[in-house]
Structure 1
Amino acid sequence: MTEITVAGETFNILVEGDETKPVLMISNPLGVNLRLWDRQAPAFLEHFRVLRYDSRGHGASVADEGPYSIAGLAQDALAILDALDIERAHWLGLSKGGMVGQWLLAHARERMGRAVLANTAAQIPSPDLWNERIQAARDSGLDALAEGVAERWFTKRFRETEPEAVENVLEMLRQTPLQGYTAAAAAIRDADQREIIRTITNPVLVIVGRHDPSTPPGLGALVASSIEGAQLATLEASHISNIEDAENFTKTVIDFLTASDVPAQEAPPRRRAPAKKAAAKKAAAKKAPVKKAAAQKAPVKKAAVKKAATKKASAKKTPAKKASARKAPAKKTPVKKAAAKKAVSKKIPAKKAAAKKSVAKTTTSRRTIAKKAAPKKAARRTKR
């Protein structure tokens, strides 16, 4: 551990690991110090240069009376990075440390890489509750708060099966300067970052404990839903999830922080693009035959329609023409024929009538002659 002076104030830090690796800065909850991360440190060091620090009012760092604010605590973190000449770092914060991380992501995003916000909230209700805790700490000291804190921070099962781990954390609480604890508690009481976190663009993982009464899962889920692209992981633990479910906590954090980057201009999106292209081709392959078939059938249908239309038109038009052709003569020819017949009836029948009359007269005269001739013939036969 090393003490560094920032703006005339002392901060206790611990920097470990290969200087060529990415920096991971870790911030502690209310009432504990950087030793809270001892169980994660070996695994983290395989991937990162790890920077832990006691936040203001905790451990061996400055513990002035305050008042503290989340913004002020975040400025302390930036000052430490500047003092160590670290331009950019990943962030891991639990509870209060997660609230500090939210401020940094919203106001100093260029200094942050990826961030893990564990067992935290954008606002932890209610002011009255925090005022009661602050007053209880002032009245009875932090020793008196330890039992109640243990019940909120760990499940009953864990307290019974891992009493030593629980006691180690409670001992950190007892060693925390009273004025540091109460000033930091007031900073949490006054914080409301529900709107500002909507501007966060860094990759974020939010971890919640399924059995956490201090920052219930719903509050963590609200943080995750407010940050575009944020991931949410749930562990079977209470508030201090890095202790109660250490193995899963460590793995979840490392998996997130070491996952391949996927900026828009890099190769991964180009890998996804073919997938989309393939999907598009697949979709096109499925749809194309239909369209092609439709395109191939369309002319047939069109031709059939045209053919049918032609036949239908012929059926309708030809008879119409024939009918008109037939009707035309029927209308015109009959008129002409009727006129002709009428003309004939006027002219020809007159001649025929005259002829008939002439024939009739001739026939009559012949019959008359025949009758007259008949007695003569009979008389001749008699004489003979």
Structure 2
Amino acid sequence: MRIAVRAFNDNPGSPVLVFGNALGTRMPLWTSVAARLADDFQIFLTDLPGHTVSTGDSLAEAAAPLTIEQLASCVVESLAELGVESFTYCGVSISGAVGLTLALNHPEALTGLVACATAEKFGTPESWDERIGEVRSDGTKGLVDDTADRWFAAGFLGEDIATGHLILTDLALVDDEAYIAAASALKTYDVSGKLGSITTPTLVMAGTQDPGCTPEAMSEMAEQIEGARFVTVPDSAHLPMVEHPEIVVDHIQEFCGQL
């Protein structure tokens, strides 16, 4: 099982930023942010297994369930193959969980962590079994309507902005088994009570209208990490990098400037 990694720009010698996506999204999720940061950083975009680039792995016939710990290790290994030994990781949702796990299990690789719209655990095993059942029955395309309400603040999709609709199209086109494999990893993910051991400089970022990873919950999470900074992005839900990339960029630049 491999994490797909692609260089976004060619800026050798600059601090390295690595971006990780939400479940059911693809590399373009972060591109509006990455483009604004390309002059100051060497940027790499990553994808969850099977989401964009085929790696030759059979997700349907995997010998063992995928875990967040495996994904975190794969990030480190895939970047090392490209000569990147240390980096700041920016992850949203499931990739925020990957980021927290990197900070717990691979702190030597991290210069900083931006944990966006994420949690110590997501839902319950039963809620993930229900989601997986929906995908097996109707495919990822059947998730689009309900997901739109979670991912974007009220009114955003009604504006003359194509990005949100493109992200939802990606969800509809993501391989069903790839989605299920990643969802199964979230089913077993739980770092509750462990965040106090994180020593990596951390920025925790929440959308003010996120119905799942609420600002209140994320603020409480940030308080467990010594020295962590907590910020919110107004008028945004679960994917603030899509709704307000300029605000997200400002927060990342300020954070990285203090590392």
Please report the TM-score for the alignment, with normalisation by the length of structure 2: 0.92
Residue correspondence of structure 1 range 245-256 to structure 2 within 5 A: 245-256=244-255
Q: CA deviation at 1:11?
A: 2.9
8 Å CA contact 2:5–2:79 kept in 1: the answer is no
User: Does residue 42 of the first structure (1) align with residue 35 of the second (2)?
Assistant: yes
Q: What is aligned with 2:83?
A: 85
- Select the residue among 13, 22, 46 that pairs with 1:53: 46
The one-letter code of the counterpart of 1:240 is L
TM-superposed CA distance for 1:163, in Å, is: 5.3
Provide the residue aligned with 1:175 in structure 2: 173
Higher relative contact order (CA 8 A, sep 6+): 2
More helix by share: 1
CA contact (8 A) 1:153 1:214 kept: no
Pairwise CA distance, 1:200: 0.5
Query: Residue 143 in 1 paired to residue 141 in 2?
Result: yes
Within 2, Cα distance between the matches of 1:83 and 1:187?
24
> Using the alignment, how far apart are the partners of 1:76 and 1:136 within structure 2?
28
- Give the aligned partner of residue 192 of structure 1: 190
Q: 3-state DSSP class of the match of 2:203?
A: strand
Over 3 Å counting, the alpha-carbon distance change for 1:141 and 1:116 in structure 2 is same
Identity of aligned residues (%): 28
Cα-to-partner distance string for 1:190-220 (whole Å, 9 max, x where unaligned):
1111222211011100001111012122331
Kindly indicate whether the alpha-carbon contact (under 8 Å) linking 2:135 and 2:143 is maintained by their aligned counterparts in 1: yes
Q: State the TM-score, normalizing by the size of structure 1.
A: 0.63
SS in 1 for 2:210: coil
Q: Deviations over 1:12-44 (max 9, x none)?
A: 523423111011111111001111111112221
1:31 paired to 2:19: no
- SS of the aligned residue for 2:13 comes to coil
How much does 1:221 deviate?
1.6
Q: Contact 2:17/2:90 (CA < 8 Å) preserved in 1?
A: yes
State the match for 1:21 in structure 2. 14
Within-5 A mapping of 1:86-101: 86-101=84-99
Gapped regions of structure 2 (runs ≥ 5): none
Q: How many Å apart are 1:105 and its aligned residue? A: 0.5
Alignment: residue pair count: 253
Equivalent pair of 2:97/2:119 in contact (CA under 8 Å): yes
In structure 1, C-alpha distance between the alignment counterparts of 2:50 and 2:113, rounded to whole Å: 23
CA distance in 2, matches of 1:227, 1:56: 29
Deviation of 1:224 (Å): 0.4
Partner of residue 121, structure 1:
119
Q: 2:30, 2:54 → 1: CA distance?
A: 17
Matched-pair contact (CA < 8 Å) for 1:200–1:227: yes
Map of 1:4-15 to 2, 5 A cutoff? 11-15=4-8
Contact 1:116 1:206 in 2 (8 A): yes
Post-superposition shift, 1:244?
A: 1.1
Structure-1 separation of matches of 2:211 and 2:79: 33
Question: Counterpart in 2 of 1:244?
Answer: 243
Superposition CA RMSD, Å: 1.6
State the one-letter code of the partner of 1:135: G
What's the secondary structure of 1:72's corresponding residue? Answer: helix
Q: Contact (CA 8 Å) 1:10, 1:61: kept in 2 or not? A: no
After superposition, residues 327-346 of structure 1 pair within 5 angstroms as none
